[in-house]
Structure 1
Amino acid sequence: MAYHNPEGMSDLTDSKCFTKKNKEQAVRQLFRNYGFTEIETPCLEYFDMYYGENEYVSQKDIFKLIDKTGNLLVLRPDMTVPACRVAATKIRYEALPYKLSYIAKCFRADEFGGGKQREFTQCGAEIIGSDNPYYDALVIKLAVSTAKRVGINDISIQIGQVEFFNGLAKEASLTQKESEIISKMIDSKDSFGISEFLEGRKIDKDIYNHLTAITGYFGDKSLIDRLLETKLNLRSKQALNNLKQILDILDKMGLSGYVTVDLSMVKKLGYYTGMIFNGNTYQMGFPILAGGRYDNLAEKMGKKLEATGFSLSLEMAIKALERQGQVEELPVMPAIVSFSESMRDYVLSVTKDIEEDKNIQVLPDSDDLERYMKERNISRMARCIAPNHVIIRSNGKTEITDFAKWRALWNI
Structure 2
Amino acid sequence: MFQKPKGTRDFLPEEMKKRKTIEKKLRKVFDSYNFSEINTPTFESFELLSKKTGDEIRTQLFVFRDHGDREMGLRPELTSSVARFYINEFKNTPKPVKLYYFTNCFRYENPQAGRYREFWQMGSELIGSKKPIADAEVVNMAIEGLKEINMDFEIHIGHLGVLKGVFEKYNLSDDEGNEIRRLIDKEDMDGLKSALSRLESEKNIEISKKVFEVLDLKGGREVISKLKEKLTEFESSVEALENLDSILEFVPHDYVINFGIARGLDYYTGMVFEVYGKKEGAKQVCGGGRYDNLIELFEGEPSPAVGFAYGFDRIMLNIDDFEVENESIFVVPVKSSEMLLKECLKIAKTLRDSGKSVEVDLMGRKLNKALNYANTKNIKKVLIVGENDIRDGKVSLKNMETGEQSLIELKDILNI
Q: Secondary structure at the match of 1:40?
A: coil
State the Cα deviation string for residues 204-259 of structure 1 (Å, max 9, x = none). 44x33112444423222222212212244332222222112112222xxx21x2x1
Partner of 2:340: 346
Unaligned runs of 5+ in 1: none
Unaligned runs of 5+ in 2: none
State the Cα deviation string for residues 4-45 of structure 1 (Å, max 9, x = none). 222221111222101112222222232222111111110111
**CA–CA separation in structure 2 for the residues paired with 1:304 and 1:12:** 42
Structure 2 residue 284 is the aligned partner of structure 1 residue 287: yes
**CA–CA separation in structure 1 for the residues paired with 2:24 and 2:323:** 17
Structure 2 counterpart of 1:249, which letter?
F
**CA–CA separation in structure 2 for the residues paired with 1:114 and 1:168:** 36
Deviation at 1:93, TM superposition (A): 4.3
Structure 1 counterpart of 2:224, which letter?
I
Partner of 2:37: 38
**CA–CA separation in structure 2 for the residues paired with 1:94 and 1:333:** 43
Using a 3 Å threshold, how does the CA distance of structure 1 residues 214 and 398 change in structure 2: closer, same or farther? closer
Deviation at 1:136, TM superposition (A): 0.5
- Sequence identity of aligned pairs in percent? 26
Q: Report which stretch shifted further, 186-195 or 64-73.
A: 186-195
Structure 2 residue 195 is the aligned partner of structure 1 residue 194: no
Structure 2 residue 269 is the aligned partner of structure 1 residue 267: no
**CA–CA separation in structure 2 for the residues paired with 1:356 and 1:147:** 33
**CA–CA separation in structure 2 for the residues paired with 1:236 and 1:230:** 10
Q: Is the contact made by 2:95 and 2:128 (CA closer than 8 Å) also made in structure 1? A: yes
Q: Is the contact made by 1:44 and 1:74 (CA closer than 8 Å) also made in structure 2? A: yes
Partner of 2:220: 220
Partner of 1:242: 243
Structure 1 counterpart of 2:279, which letter?
Q
Q: Is the contact made by 1:76 and 1:106 (CA closer than 8 Å) also made in structure 2? A: yes
Using a 3 Å threshold, how does the CA distance of structure 1 residues 94 and 208 change in structure 2: closer, same or farther? same
Q: Is the contact made by 1:333 and 1:376 (CA closer than 8 Å) also made in structure 2? A: no
Q: Secondary structure at the match of 1:125?
A: strand
State the Cα deviation string for residues 82-118 of structure 1 (Å, max 9, x = none). 1122122212544211111111111122263212222
**CA–CA separation in structure 2 for the residues paired with 1:68 and 1:148:** 47
Structure 2 residue 153 is the aligned partner of structure 1 residue 155: yes
Q: Is the contact made by 2:332 and 2:344 (CA closer than 8 Å) also made in structure 1? A: no
**CA–CA separation in structure 2 for the residues paired with 1:107 and 1:409:** 51
Q: Is the contact made by 1:354 and 1:361 (CA closer than 8 Å) also made in structure 2? A: no
Partner of 1:81: 80
Using a 3 Å threshold, how does the CA distance of structure 1 residues 185 and 388 change in structure 2: closer, same or farther? closer
Deviation at 1:374, TM superposition (A): 1.6
Q: Is the contact made by 1:293 and 1:307 (CA closer than 8 Å) also made in structure 2? A: yes
Using a 3 Å threshold, how does the CA distance of structure 1 residues 56 and 133 change in structure 2: closer, same or farther? farther
Structure 2 counterpart of 1:221, which letter?
R
Structure 2 residue 328 is the aligned partner of structure 1 residue 334: yes
**CA–CA separation in structure 2 for the residues paired with 1:170 and 1:28:** 41
Q: Is the contact made by 1:158 and 1:262 (CA closer than 8 Å) also made in structure 2? A: yes
The total of aligned residue pairs comes to 397
Structure 2 residue 64 is the aligned partner of structure 1 residue 65: yes
State the Cα deviation string for residues 356-390 of structure 1 (Å, max 9, x = none). 25744321441542332122211122445775899
Deviation at 1:50, TM superposition (A): 2.5
Q: Is the contact made by 1:15 and 1:328 (CA closer than 8 Å) also made in structure 2? A: no
Using a 3 Å threshold, how does the CA distance of structure 1 residues 212 and 361 change in structure 2: closer, same or farther? closer
Q: Secondary structure at the match of 1:65?
A: strand
> Equivalences for 1:246-257 in 2 at 5 Å?
246-250=247-251, 254-255=252-253, 257=254
Deviation at 1:334, TM superposition (A): 2.1
Q: Is the contact made by 1:333 and 1:378 (CA closer than 8 Å) also made in structure 2? A: yes
Using a 3 Å threshold, how does the CA distance of structure 1 residues 294 and 408 change in structure 2: closer, same or farther? closer
Q: Is the contact made by 2:157 and 2:259 (CA closer than 8 Å) also made in structure 1? A: yes
> Equivalences for 1:386-397 in 2 at 5 Å?
387=388, 393-397=398-402
Q: Is the contact made by 2:361 and 2:370 (CA closer than 8 Å) also made in structure 1? A: no
Using a 3 Å threshold, how does the CA distance of structure 1 residues 399 and 28 change in structure 2: closer, same or farther? closer
Q: Report which stretch shifted further, 71-80 or 280-289.
A: 280-289
Using a 3 Å threshold, how does the CA distance of structure 1 residues 99 and 192 change in structure 2: closer, same or farther? same
TM-score computed with the length of structure 2 as normaliser: 0.85
Q: Is the contact made by 2:290 and 2:305 (CA closer than 8 Å) also made in structure 1? A: yes
**CA–CA separation in structure 2 for the residues paired with 1:217 and 1:138:** 25
Using a 3 Å threshold, how does the CA distance of structure 1 residues 54 and 371 change in structure 2: closer, same or farther? same
Q: Secondary structure at the match of 1:356?
A: helix
Structure 2 counterpart of 1:106, which letter?
C
Deviation at 1:158, TM superposition (A): 0.4
Q: Is the contact made by 2:331 and 2:344 (CA closer than 8 Å) also made in structure 1? A: no
